Structures are given as C-alpha cells and as structure tokens.
C-alpha cells in the first residue's frame, strides 16, 4: 500500500461524509434501477458483482432487486458510507480505496459509477488494473466522458474531478476486454434523470 493521494484523503474525510448525505432519495434510486435494467439486458446470468466506490449502496440496492440471487461486494473508502452500506445486510463490504482494496474472489461483473472521475489521473493505470483483476467476465464503467482529459472545478475544489475516455483507456490497457454496449444518462430525462454520465459495458474474451 503506497502513500495515500490527496484525492483519497479528500473522500475519506469530511467532504466524503457530506457527499453521503447528498446522495439519498427515491428519485436517485429509481434512476439506478433504470440504468441497470438497460446495462444488464444483454448480459448472461451474473452470480456475483463487485462495485468499487459503492458509497451508501444505490447501485447495490438496484442490483439486489434485479439480481436477487447474486452475491454483492462493495469497496468503499469513506467510513460513514461503508457503515451504511454494511447496514443493508446484503453487501459484503471492504472498507478501503479502489487503488489497493478488492475482494479476494473475482466477480462476474466489476464496475465503477462516477468514481474514476475522482481518482488522481496518475493512478488510473492502477485503478484500471484493479477493476480488470476483479472481473472474470464483465466490466462496466459509468463516468463523465470527454474525448480528451480535462479537469473540472468541483464544488470549489481543484484537482478533484476529471473527465476523459475512461473506458477507452481501460480497453487499451486491458485489450482482453471488448466493448459490448454503451449509453448515456441525461439530467433532463423526464422519468429517470441522472448526472449526465456515459456507461460502457465491456466483456472479457
């Protein structure tokens, strides 16, 4: 385990605690149900799932309903969020950073959802390797897309939010994964709005 990055410290601390309280609500949960029903419709049966950066479990709750027999694993850096995730009762939780923490066993599906955008760009190769190593078949990356890397001011903070072609970089680094499907979630969707992120489903050869 190397020296913790500024971004990891940021999300482990007070800002991460505040984020937990902002990410609640039935509307947000409904959007995740809609998202995952689209992503999973072309997948073969999935028996286990790993989410890196699971927070309080919006994705895990949606996946538990859609895949009731699947074993769910969540990695979460923020202690407050990890405690709430554990309280759901159906997620095996590892408290730690995406960069150095993962379940011992591979899952059929490993994914991130608006997590890579907050990783120090110099550490992305390590993040991609963690995700690839955690999956035996599918990887899903749901992040803010941009064709070239850019940094965005995030609630008054610099070097805390980045946009780029995460999925493209992931496939370049791990060519055993090929693009299977992709889509976009729009903040003005009349029924299931979300935060303008793109999702990419990749399958291992």
Tokens encoding 88: 């759901």
CB neighbours of residue 187 within 10 Å: 10
Q: Is the pLDDT of residue 10 over 70?
A: no
- Summary mean pLDDT of the chain: 91
- The domains of the chain, with CATH numbers, are 6-204 (3.40.50.150)
Look at residue 162 in the predicted model and tell me its pLDDT: 94
Q: Could you tell me the pTM of the whole model?
A: 0.89
- Report d(CA 200, CA 186) in Å as an integer: 15
The model's confidence at residue 91, banded by pLDDT at 50, 70 and 90, is very high
- Phi, psi dihedrals of residue 200, rounded to the nearest 5°: -135, 125
The b/e string for 10-46 (b: 16+ C-beta within 10 A; e otherwise) is bbbeeebeebbeeeeeeeebbbbbbbbeebbeebeeb
Could you please report the per-residue DSSP string of 121-144? Answer: GGGHHHHHHHHHHHEEEEEEEEE-
- Report d(CA 185, CA 56) in Å as an integer: 20
Q: What number is the average pLDDT over the span 162-174?
A: 98
């Amino acid at each position: 385990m190397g020296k913790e990055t500024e971004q990891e410290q940021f999300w482990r601390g007070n800002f991460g605690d505040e984020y937990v309280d902002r990410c609640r609500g039935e509307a947000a949960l409904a959007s995740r149900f809609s998202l995952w029903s689209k992503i999973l419709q072309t997948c073969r049966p999935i028996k286990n799932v790993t989410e890196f950066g699971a927070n309080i479990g919006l994705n895990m709750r949606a996946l538990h309903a859609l895949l009731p027999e699947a074993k769910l694993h969540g990695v979460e850096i923020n202690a407050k969020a990890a405690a709430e995730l554990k309280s759901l009762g159906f997620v095996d939780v590892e408290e730690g950073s995406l960069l150095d923490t993962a379940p011992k066993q591979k899952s059929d599906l490993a994914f991130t959802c608006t997590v890579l955008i907050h990783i120090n760009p110099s550490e992305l190769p390590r993040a991609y390797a963690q995700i690839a190593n955690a999956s035996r078949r599918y990887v899903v990356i749901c992040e803010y897309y941009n064709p070239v890397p850019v940094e965005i001011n995030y609630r008054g903070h610099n070097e805390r939010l980045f946009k780029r072609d995460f999925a493209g970089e992931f496939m370049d680094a791990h060519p055993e994964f090929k693009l299977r499907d992709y889509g976009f979630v729009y903040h003005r969707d009349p029924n299931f709005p979300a935060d303008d992120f793109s999702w990419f489903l990749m399958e291992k050869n």
